[in-house]
Structure 1
Amino acid sequence: MDITKIIVPKKSIGGICIGENIEKIEARISGRYKSHKEVNSLTIDDGLIGAYHGTDGIISSISCNRSFTGNYQNKLWAGMTVADVLRHSKEQVAWSGFVQIDKISGIGLSLPEAHDDFESLADYLGLDFVFDELWVYNF
């Protein structure tokens, strides 16, 4: 399996999909990418992609770090600054620990714990603050 640059809200990052079995993903990437497995997660290439799953092994959410070079519609990508978010979106809301933009559900930038709620994104984080992770989820 080659990791793609495609991000699909509520579905996938890099070709790894919510709802897939983690063991199948591990087998598909074996020998091509470095991976680290923990109780409820599989990390690929030092966080390039992380897949999170329950005890049944079914992936429930996926993240990527700024080494992942894909983006979603030139609006969202890991490694964005607050200035980038404001420039590439019309509306930003804090939702469940993530910044969601333009009412696009199932995809978001991970907020730091101390700033997991905001009225205006720039009021809480400086314009040069970098969002290290982008997440895809279906909750």
Structure 2
Amino acid sequence: MDITNLIVPKKSIGGVCIGDSIEKIEAGLSGHYKIHKEQNSLTLDDGFIRAYYGPDGIITAISCNSKFTGSYQNKLWAGMTVAEVLTHSKEQIAWSGFVQVDKISGSGLSLPEEHDDFESLTDHFALDFIFDELWVYDF
């Protein structure tokens, strides 16, 4: 399995897909990446990509950090600053612990727990604040 630089909301990051078997992903990527497996997540290269799975071993959500160089339509990527979010999107809302932009459901930038809601991004965050993680989910 080769990692791509694609982000597909509600579906995948880098070719790791929601609905895939974690064993399939682990087998396809072992030898290419440093893998750390926990009870409900599989991490590649210290968070480059992290797949979350349920007791059945099926991936339910995926995240990546700024080491992942892909983006969604040059509008959304891990490691964005607040200034970049404001430049590359027209609308930003807080939704379920994430910054969702331009009504693109199924993907978002992870908000710190202490700031899980906002009226405007600049209410709580400086323009140089970096959103370390991007998530893809289907809820």
Whole-Å separation in 2 of the counterparts to 1:36 and 1:125: 32
Aligned to 2:51: 51
SS at match of 1:73: coil
CA drift at 1:30: 1.1
TM superposition score normalised by structure 2: 0.99
**Distance in 2 between residues matched to 1:26 and 1:80, nearest whole Å:** 28
1:82, 1:61 → 2: CA distance? 24
Residue type of the alignment partner of 2:80: M
One-letter amino acid of the counterpart of residue 115, structure 1: H
Greater than 2 Å deviation, 4+ residue runs: none
Aligned positions of 1:86-101 closer than 5 A: 86-101=86-101
Which residues of structure 2 form unaligned runs of 5+? none
**1:29 partner letter:** L
Partners in 2 of 1:127 and 1:9 — Cα distance? Answer: 25
Distance 1:33 1:43 in 2: 9
Offset of residue 2 of structure 1: 1.4
| SS state at 1:23 partner | helix
**Partner SS, residue 85 of structure 1:** helix
Residue in structure 2 matched with residue 64 of structure 1 by the alignment: 64
Q: Aligned partners of 1:125 and 1:37: how far apart in 2?
A: 33
Q: Please, what is the CA RMSD of the aligned residues?
A: 0.4
Report the equivalent of 2:32.
Answer: 32
Question: Aligned pair count?
Answer: 139
Q: Aligned equivalents of 2:112 and 2:31: distance in 1?
A: 34
Alpha-carbon separation, structure 1, partners of 2:49 and 2:30: 14
Percent identical = 77
Q: CA deviation at 1:86?
A: 0.3
Q: 1:68 is matched by which residue type in structure 2?
A: F
Residue in 1 that maps onto 2:18: 18
Structure 1 CA distance for aligned equivalents of residues 45 and 87 of structure 2 = 30
Q: Which residue of 2 aligns with 1:133?
A: 133
User: Deviation at 1:138?
Assistant: 0.2
Using the alignment, how far apart are the partners of 1:30 and 1:36 within structure 2? 10
